[in-house]
């Protein structure tokens, strides 16, 4: 969008160009009692954009469970805050930066990390961990992707990974885990969801409420430039068309060094006691921070743009208010104590300027060299944006029959070759090539980094405790059944946390969907909300905050509905972390099943084929994506979670790894990979076909290894929680993985061979030019 | 004996070094802000890892002009113990307190993982508590760790036993496979001719507790403590 001089008269065409509908324009006129000028139109257009106002999602989001006895701050502030004991709280949230990452992968991803970090330290919490959940199109040519498209997906992946690493590494926060998945639908709509976690003393948490008439409003951090203008309203609130390249100037540019200085300076300034409120400038920069702080505080704010540090000349009020230049914060200080605050920022070499003050009357007044450039009631602007109850319509279900589903092989078929192919597929293969580009160890708190455990685990040095984090989502399952798929996302993240030994206590969600203007997409959204809500209640993990990203579609084709859930867990005793790798030859391998009796899970016939058609194996080996995700049993998931926490506490198991993508066989293989020189000999039995038994993805199951003398104790614990514990084999010292099913050897391979394929697959795919 | 950990704008591993020395080894340690020319009577100075000045221009290029470096240089010239870790090593190279230069990793990417380094010399206050030939498991995390020097410098370093640590395979072999960044002669860490200033790319402060998968890094700090306590180090700041 070209820069607009203040004198430009607002016309219906200009309003439409800003994404403001006729009805919305009418509301603006009503709020102001007149027509808006161009600056005011720009301000409304960003605040009332989908990204900032949640206008299409609000009616559904309110169905999410947000309360809990450990929740100190739920949705509505910059991040969710949870009590973690010892007078400490954890602030955490996940956020998306999808559209910018397609347009400019490096900067899109890097500023995504920068943005979520600011959301944490603006609360007064020092960030201690970052995770990223990424989704890309296919990186090798296939039936659905040609070489040119695959090469583009590889470039996007490379840019995003370098962007994520570059920010976290320089800022000095460990990137401790995350997930990466590949589906054709993400090719032109990659998903980059970044999660950050921080710690603070409970009484040191800062909220963003502008209070105290006459208190100075202070701008700190980087100078304002023209980058990112309309990043929120145009990039994040619209789908891509052929002209997407022209959106490059809308992508923000990050400087992690600046943010590191900002972090240290803000935390130091907050300790002076002179800071009343603080908010970061993210989407819609100055506009959002001023009106939101005023609105929450029930006050008004007046600023003069002549005082705003600028790095370009000739910027108009429109540009300054809409700029999304990174690494800036807005704070309110106690009148008379501004020098204390300014001195801290000076020490760290950062710009800090008093740009205005808190006023009575609830108005956001923007002056430019003393002349009023915009005057808008803050509360209606921030909180009374349009709320849409968009039409919701379930799409007509396709008629599938057994012909469309996965064809199981005959009993006794050797599955080793297919298993190897599965281990090499990008979604299943090791993400080591990616995670080694992230500093996962800085701050020396990382007890379990990428791949070590099912969740990332970071200790809290002042205490005996540790925090665990996991992010999970399955777009393919949500496409097949949005409600069930969403429930699985919550269940899997919670199960991952529990499998590291920690008790899941809270959740954050990033809801990535297509256009809300399509009734089928809104149906998917509504269903997903219902699923997330039901699962969060059942598993005791209230949603404390998060983000909605709509319009993830290009040329009318939308992504799979992809809710991504981040779960925070608390490990009372940091020495009890559980890891995935087998430890000792001779240890017994148990399959723990929250449903109690594993036989009930052994589906056969058409039902089994229908469920199996939604699996990673079905997609990778047979190219079939159909059917239904596995049924979800939240009671079983809860039993298993409680059992895992108890087992960790008791210290009776050697290793733990849950069953998810790729099924039991992948879990067994990864448990061997996490060890050195060890293998496994397993014998399974059941009514189901071998592929279903080995690669089926039913939930509520974890594989543990136990030393023989602790076996009785483990069985007792499992029984106590109603969890089935089936002995399926032993850890061996011969470096081989053998799986026998119904008396036939179906997998037999050398662990080092499999590990090489699994560990280097991604790297090999990415080097193909 | 007291350690000082210098904090530049952008240093990240200062807290980790402080924790390792102050809490794990239970020795007095304080932070020294880069603007300070006073080294607070410390017996040993640590230049920690991180991204001082955002790695603008070249890593370490700007930090070496910080006011504190004047005092660090004087302290080093007087024989005081100075250890540069990762970014700290880069700063010492830029300041000319150690010979050679740092280039981008051969793989052109940032890399974070545990590596194996062999102790090459034990007659230095940074390795005197270790055994010659001992293999240590210590993590690296850098994109510019490719230590480089010209032929003459390398000859000199070898002649005067200034190479303190070399990357090896887990089994202790000198193989390119064990070198994560392509550094000349698999060099991971060196000292100056006078043996009181050293730099290494791996992070010993990240390997001081078993819960962090290795505590081999303790040897380096213990060596420094031993050297000062036994008065084999020459000066206090």
Residue A1 pLDDT exceeds 50: no
Q: What are phi and psi of B231, to 5 degrees?
A: 65, 20
Query: How many CA atoms, within 13 angstroms, populate the side-chain half-sphere of residue A284?
Result: 28
Residues from chain B that touch A575, judged by Cβ atoms under 8 A, are: 211
Residues of the domain holding B36: 3-229
- Can you tell me the mean pLDDT for B168-194? 96
pLDDT at position A250, please?
A: 65
Tokens of A762: 């991604």
Structure confidence at residue B56 (pLDDT) = 86
Q: Which of A172, A433, A574 to mutate to test the interface with B (most CBs of B within 10 A)?
A: A172
CATH number where B95 lies: 3.40.50.880
CB A206 within 8 A of CB A278: yes
Tell me the pLDDT band of A248, cut-offs 50, 70 and 90.
low
Residue B132 in domain: yes
Helices (H) and strands (E) in chain B, counts: 5, 11
- Give yes or no for residue A598 having a pLDDT over 80: no
Query: B157 to chain A, minimum CA–CA distance in Å?
Result: 31
Handedness of CA A676, A681, A684, A688 (dihedral sign): positive
pLDDT at A687 over 50: yes
The C-alpha atoms of residue A492 and residue A487 are separated, in whole angstroms, by: 9
Strand order of the β-sheet with A744-750 is A655-658, A701-706, A588-593, A724-732, A679-684, A736-741, A744-750
Give chain B's domain count: 1
In this predicted structure, the answer to whether residue A260 has a pLDDT above a threshold of 60 is: yes
Provide mean pLDDT across the span A190-202: 97
pLDDT tens digits along A169-192: 999 999 999 999 999 999 999 999
CB within 8 Å: B110 and A438: yes
Quote the pTM value: 0.95
ipTM over 0.90: yes
**Cβ contacts of residue A294 below 8 Å, gap of 6+?**
A210, A300, A301, A358, A362, A364, A378, A379, A382
What percentage of chain A exceeds 70 in pLDDT?
A: 96
- How many percent of chain B have pLDDT more than 90? 92
- Averaged over A673-679, what is the pLDDT? 93
The answer, for A162 touching chain B at a CB cutoff of 8 Å, is yes
Identify whether A51 is a catalytic site residue. yes
Query: Which two three-digit tokens encode residue A582?
Result: 């087998």
Task: Answer whether A734's CB lies under 8 Å from A679's CB.
Answer: yes
Confidence class of residue A615 from pLDDT cuts 50, 70 and 90? very high
Scan residues 310-349 of A and list those with Cβ closer than 8 Å to B: 348-349
What is the distance between the alpha carbons of residues B126 and B136, in angstroms, rounded to a whole number?
13
Which residue in chain B has the smallest CA separation from A441? B206
C-beta atoms surrounding A710 within 10 Å: 17
pLDDT of A233 higher than 90:
no
pLDDT for A491 equals 98
> What's the rounded mean pLDDT across residues B118-147?
97
- At residue B36, φ and ψ (nearest 5 deg) are -80, 135
Domains of chain A in sequence order: 1-55+208-385 (3.90.650.10), 414-446+578-769 (3.90.650.10)
* Domain contains B13: yes
Count Cα neighbours of A257 within 13 Å in the Cβ-side half-sphere.
13
pLDDT (average), residues B109-123: 97
> Which pLDDT value is given to residue A246?
57
What count of CB pairs under 8 Å joins A to B?
79
Q: Do A441 and B10 touch (CB under 8 A)?
A: no
CB contact (8 A) between residue A165 and residue B9 = no
Tell me whether residue B235 is in a domain. Answer: no
Question: 């394929």: which residue's tokens?
Answer: A757
Residue A449 pLDDT > 50: yes
Tell me which residue in A255, A436, A443 faces B112 most closely, judged by beta carbons: A436
Residue to mutate among B211, B213, B214, B217, with most A CBs inside 10 A, is B211
pLDDT at A768 over 90: no
- Highest mean pLDDT out of A232-236, B171-175, B200-204: B200-204
Strands A300-304 and A351-359: antiparallel
Q: Is B108 on the interface with A (CB under 8 A)?
A: no
Give the mean model confidence (pLDDT) for residues A252-260: 91
Report residue B231's pLDDT band, with 50, 70 and 90 as the boundaries.
confident
> Would you say residue A334 has pLDDT above 60?
yes
Is pLDDT of A2 > 60?
no
- Mean pLDDT (chain A, rounded): 94
Is A257 in Cβ contact with B20 (below 8 Å)? no
Shortest Cα distance, chain B CAs vs residue A173, angstroms: 8
What are the residue ranges of helices labelled H in A305-431?
317-322, 338-347, 378-383, 416-424
Average pLDDT estimate for A199-213:
92
Average pLDDT over residues A274-280: 94
Tens-digit pLDDT profile for residues A565-581: 999 999 999 999 999 99
Map tokens 């009357």 to a residue.
Answer: A361
Q: Does B19 touch chain A (CB under 8 A)?
A: yes
pLDDT at A13: 87
Tell me, yes or no, whether B192 lies in a domain. Answer: yes
pLDDT of residue A767: 75
As a whole number, mean pLDDT of residues B12-23 equals 97
Q: Are A540 and A505 in contact (CB under 8 A)?
A: yes
Give the model's pLDDT for residue A239: 72
The answer to whether residue B201 neighbours chain A at the CB level (below 8 Å) is: no
pLDDT band at A244 (very low <50, low <70, confident <90, very high): low
pLDDT of A600 above 80 = no
Give the mean pLDDT of A1-15.
69
**pLDDT, tens digit, 9 for 90 and up, residues A718-747:** 999 999 999 999 999 999 999 999 999 999
pLDDT in tens, A389-431: 999 999 998 899 999 999 999 999 999 999 999 999 999 999 9
Chain B residue whose CA is closest to A459: B211
Whether A97 sits among the annotated catalytic residues: the reply is: yes
Helix axes A256-271, A105-121, angle to 10 degrees: 10
pLDDT of residue B187: 98
What would the mean pLDDT of B81-98 be, rounded to a whole number?
Answer: 97
Q: How far A457 CA lies from chain B's nearest CA (Å)? A: 11
- Give the nearest partner residue to A348 out of B9, B208, B209, using CB atoms: B9
Question: What is the pLDDT, as a whole number, of residue A769?
Answer: 38
Preferred mutation among B110, B145, B170, B206 to probe A, highest tally of A CBs within 10 A = B110
Give the closest-approach CA distance of B206 to chain A in angstroms.
6
Non-local CB neighbours of B213 within 8 Å, separated by 6+ positions: B114, B137, B207
Q: What is the percent of chain B where pLDDT is above 70?
A: 97
Give residue B235's pLDDT: 53
pLDDT, tens digit (0-9, with 9 covering 90-100), for A124-145: 999 999 999 999 999 999 989 9
Which of A 259-288 lie inside 8 A of B, CB atoms? Answer: 260-261
How far apart CA A535 and CA A537 sit, in angstroms, is 5
Spatial neighbors of A246 by CB under 8 A, at least 6 apart, are: none
């Amino acid at each position: 969008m070209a820069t607009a001089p203040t004198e430009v008269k607002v016309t219906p065409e200009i309003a439409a160009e800003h994404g403001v509908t006729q009805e919305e324009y009418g509301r603006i006129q009503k709020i102001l009692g007149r027509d808006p000028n161009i600056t005011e139109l720009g301000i409304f257009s960003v605040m009332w954009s989908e990204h900032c106002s949640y206008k299409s999602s609000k009616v559904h989001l309110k169905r999410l469970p947000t309360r809990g006895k450990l929740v100190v701050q739920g949705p509505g502030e910059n991040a969710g805050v949870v009590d973690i004991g010892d007078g400490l709280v954890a602030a955490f949230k996940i956020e998306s930066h999808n559209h910018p990452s397609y347009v400019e992968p490096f900067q899109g991803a890097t500023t995504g990390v920068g943005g979520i970090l600011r959301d944490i330290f603006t609360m007064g919490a020092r960030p201690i961990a970052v995770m990223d959940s990424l989704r890309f199109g296919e990186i090798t040519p296939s039936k659905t992707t040609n070489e040119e498209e695959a090469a583009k997906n590889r470039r996007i992946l490379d840019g995003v990974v370098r962007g994520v690493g570059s920010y976290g590494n320089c800022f000095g926060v460990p990137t401790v885990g995350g997930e990466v998945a590949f589906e054709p639908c993400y090719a032109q709509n990659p998903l980059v969801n970044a999660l950050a976690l921080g710690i603070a003393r409970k009484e040191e948490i800062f909220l963003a409420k502008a209070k105290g008439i006459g208190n100075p409003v202070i701008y700190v951090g980087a100078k304002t430039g023209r980058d990112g203008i309309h990043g929120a309203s145009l990039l994040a609130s619209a789908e891509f068309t052929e002209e997407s390249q022209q959106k490059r100037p809308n992508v923000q540019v990050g400087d992690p060094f600046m943010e590191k200085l900002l972090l240290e300076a803000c935390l130091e300034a907050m300790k002076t006691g002179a800071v009343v409120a603080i908010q970061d400038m993210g989407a819609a920069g100055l506009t959002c921070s001023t009106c939101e702080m005023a609105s929450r505080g029930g006050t008004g704010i007046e600023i003069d743009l002549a005082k705003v540090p600028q790095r370009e000349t000739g910027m108009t009020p429109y540009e300054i208010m809409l700029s999304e230049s990174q690494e800036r914060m807005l704070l309110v200080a106690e009148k008379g104590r501004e020098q204390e605050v300014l001195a801290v920022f000076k020490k760290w070499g950062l710009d800090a300027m008093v740009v205005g003050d808190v006023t009575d009357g609830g108005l956001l007044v923007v002056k430019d060299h003393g002349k009023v450039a915009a005057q808008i009631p803050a509360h209606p602007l921030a909180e009374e944006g349009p709320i849409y109850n968009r039409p919701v319509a379930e799409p007509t279900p396709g008629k599938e029959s057994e012909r469309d589903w996965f064809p199981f092989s005959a009993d006794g078929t050797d599955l080793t070759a297919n298993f190897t192919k599965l281990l090499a597929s990008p979604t299943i293969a090791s993400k080591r090539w990616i995670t080694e580009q992230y500093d996962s160890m800085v701050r020396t708190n990382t007890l379990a980094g990428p791949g070590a455990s099912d969740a990332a685990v970071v200790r809290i040095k002042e205490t005996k405790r540790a925090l665990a984090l996991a992010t999970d989502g399955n777009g393919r399952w949500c496409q097949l059944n949005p409600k069930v798929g969403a429930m699985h996302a919550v269940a899997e993240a919670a199960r991952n946390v529990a499998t590291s030994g920690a008790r899941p206590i809270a959740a954050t969600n990033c809801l990535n969907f297509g256009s809300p203007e399509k009734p089928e997409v809104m149906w998917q959204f509504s269903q997903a909300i219902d699923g997330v809500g039901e699962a969060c209640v059942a598993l005791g993990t209230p949603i404390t905050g998060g983000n909605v990203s709509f319009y993830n579609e290009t040329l009318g084709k939308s992504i799979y509905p992809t809710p991504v859930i981040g779960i925070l867990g608390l490990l009372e005793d940091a020495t009890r972390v559980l890891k995935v790798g087998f430890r000792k030859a001779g240890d017994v391998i148990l399959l723990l099943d929250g449903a109690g009796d594993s036989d009930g899970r052994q589906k056969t016939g058409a039902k089994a084929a229908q469920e199996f058609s939604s699996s990673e194996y079905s997609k990778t080996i047979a190219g079939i994506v159909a059917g239904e995700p596995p049924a979800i049993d939240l009671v079983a998931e809860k039993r298993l979670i409680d059992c895992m926490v108890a087992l960790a506490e008791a210290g009776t198991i050697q290793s733990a790894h849950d069953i998810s993508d790729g099924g039991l066989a992948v879990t067994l293989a990864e448990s061997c990979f996490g060890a050195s020189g060890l293998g496994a000999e397993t014998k399974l039995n059941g009514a189901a076909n071998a592929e279903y038994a080995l690669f089926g993805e039913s939930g509520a199951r974890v594989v543990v290894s136990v030393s023989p003398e602790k076996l009785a104790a483990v069985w007792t614990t499992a029984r106590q929680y109603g969890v089935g514990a089936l002995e399926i084999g032993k850890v061996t010292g011969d470096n081989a993985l053998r799986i026998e099913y119904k008396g036939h050897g179906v997998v037999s391979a050398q662990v080092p061979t499999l590990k090489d394929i699994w560990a280097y697959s991604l790297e090999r795919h990415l080097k193909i030019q | 004996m007291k350690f000082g950990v210098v904090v530049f704008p952008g240093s990240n591993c200062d807290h980790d070094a402080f924790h390792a020395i102050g809490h794990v080894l239970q020795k007095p340690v304080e932070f020294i802000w880069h603007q300070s020319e006073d080294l607070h009577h410390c017996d040993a100075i640590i230049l920690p890892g991180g991204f001082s000045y955002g790695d603008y221009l070249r890593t370490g290029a700007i930090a070496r002009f910080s006011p504190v470096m004047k005092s660090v240089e004087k302290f080093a010239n007087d024989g005081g113990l100075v250890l540069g870790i990762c970014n700290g090593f880069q700063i010492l190279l830029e300041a000319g307190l150690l010979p050679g230069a740092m280039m981008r990793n051969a793989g052109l990417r940032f890399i974070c993982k545990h590596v194996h380094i062999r102790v090459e010399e034990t007659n230095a206050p940074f390795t005197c508590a270790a055994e010659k030939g001992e293999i240590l498991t210590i993590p690296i995390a850098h994109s510019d760790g490719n230590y480089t020097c010209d032929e003459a410098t390398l000859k000199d370093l070898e002649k005067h036993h200034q190479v303190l640590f070399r990357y090896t395979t887990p089994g202790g072999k000198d193989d390119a496979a064990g070198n994560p960044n392509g550094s000349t002669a698999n060099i991971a860490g060196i000292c100056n001719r006078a043996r009181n200033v050293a730099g290494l790319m791996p992070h010993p402060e990240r390997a001081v507790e078993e819960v962090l998968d290795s505590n081999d890094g303790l040897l380096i700090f213990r060596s420094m403590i031993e050297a000062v306590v036994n008065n084999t180090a020459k000066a206090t700041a």
